[in-house]
Each structure stands twice: as structure tokens, then as C-alpha cells.
Amino acid sequence: SFFEAFLPLFVAMNVLSVLPLFIGLTDGLSTRARRRLGMQAVTTAFVVALVILLAGRLIFRTLGITVDDLRSGGGLVRVGLSITDLLFSSQTRRTPSDDGQGESIGVVPLGTPLVVGPAAITTILVLQESYGYWMTLGSLVANLLLVLVTFFFAPTLIAWIGASASKAIGKVASLFLAAISVALIRTGVAGILDHMG
């Protein structure tokens, strides 16, 4: 049962697709700063996911939103992120440094919507109904630990593949992120229109 709860969330978080974006967003930072941002991203993702697990449906009902609204909004945020990363310089798109300034990228966009985005939020709600709170919480913690380990070893990977290759990977990942985001928006809008019809 744990594996059945773990696997859908692993697919939804898709840490292997987030890693190139993490590499691109933290380009030029020291190993210590990268790992600090990784920890901040995972902490943010855990807090957001825990709130969704405990009160997600209540929050949705109170705000009058649906999962399709979340897909559309999350897709728009991701499109903005990918376009900024593709078209603008590193100085324009972020300002994190070794002294801890500008570390908001650990919260947005890394923690959410990249690690815990619309797909993960939807999966958490479904898992909670199918497996209960504790099983869902256990699979969430296991997945976030996996993300943290991946981020922790990202500097080693970058050193191995080289700075130029890591930049190229980050740009390609941003291009794919834009395409995935458009698909997310399309799915959300289609769901909204279907609900209205």
C-alpha cells in the first residue's frame, strides 16, 4: 500500500525534470548556497503539501476554486518562469547570493509550483481519499527526502558535467517547461469549459 501511495506522487513531483531547472536557477551559486536553496525549496514544498493534505478541499470550497483553476494558474506561473529564464540574463531573473539575499526562489518557483505544483496537489487529494492521512503523509515525506537528496548532490553533478553543459541543460529544461505549462493550461481551461457546459 505504501508503494501504491508513493509511486503516483513520485510521478507527479517528477524530481528528474525539476533537477535541470534547479541547476539553471541556481547557476553561479556556491555549493553551500545551492544546498541552502534546496533545503528551503523542500521545506516550502512540505508546508504547502501538508496544508493541502489537511485542509485542501476545505480551502478550495472556501475560495470557490477547482483543481482545473489551479492547473491554469500554475501553468501561467510556469510559463512566466520559463520565458524569463529563456530570454533574460541571470541578473534579471534572480538575485540569490552566498550571503542569503534573494533566496525567495527557494520558495517560488522551486518549492512551489516546481516541486509541489498542480499535479502533486491533485495527487495528494486523491491519495488522501484512497489511503488516508498517514499513508499519504508517509509517501509525501519519502518523496520530499528523495528530492532533497537529489538537490543535495546537484552541485556534484554540475561539477561533473561542467558549467557550460549545466547552462545548456537549464535552457532546454526551461523550453520543455514552457511546453508542459501550455499543456497544463490547456487541460485546466478544457476542464473549466467542460464543467460550465
pLDDT at 93: 46
List the grid coordinates of 63. Answer: 475560495
pLDDT at 166: 66
How many residues would you count in the chain? 197
**The one-letter amino acid at 76:** L
* Largest interatomic CA distance in the chain: 53
pLDDT at 95: 47
DSSP 3-state of 30: coil
pLDDT at 91: 47
**What is the per-residue burial (b if ≥16 Cβ within 10 Å, else e) of 155-175?**
beebeeeeeeebbebbeebbe
pLDDT at 49: 97
The full DSSP string for 34-66 is HHHHHHHHHHHHHHHHHHHHHHHHHHHHHHT--
pLDDT at 96: 52
> Helix H segments across the chain?
2-13, 15-25, 31-63, 67-87, 90-93, 118-152, 154-161, 163-196
pTM flag (> 0.85): no
Cα 40 versus chain centre, distance: 12
pLDDT, tens digit only, all 197 positions of the chain = 799 999 989 888 888 778 878 887 887 788 899 999 999 999 999 999 999 999 998 998 999 988 788 888 878 877 887 787 777 755 444 445 544 545 688 898 889 888 998 888 988 988 998 899 999 999 999 999 999 999 999 878 777 877 677 677 767 777 777 787 788 788 889 988 888 87
List the grid coordinates of 173. Answer: 529544461
List the grid coordinates of 159. Answer: 561539477
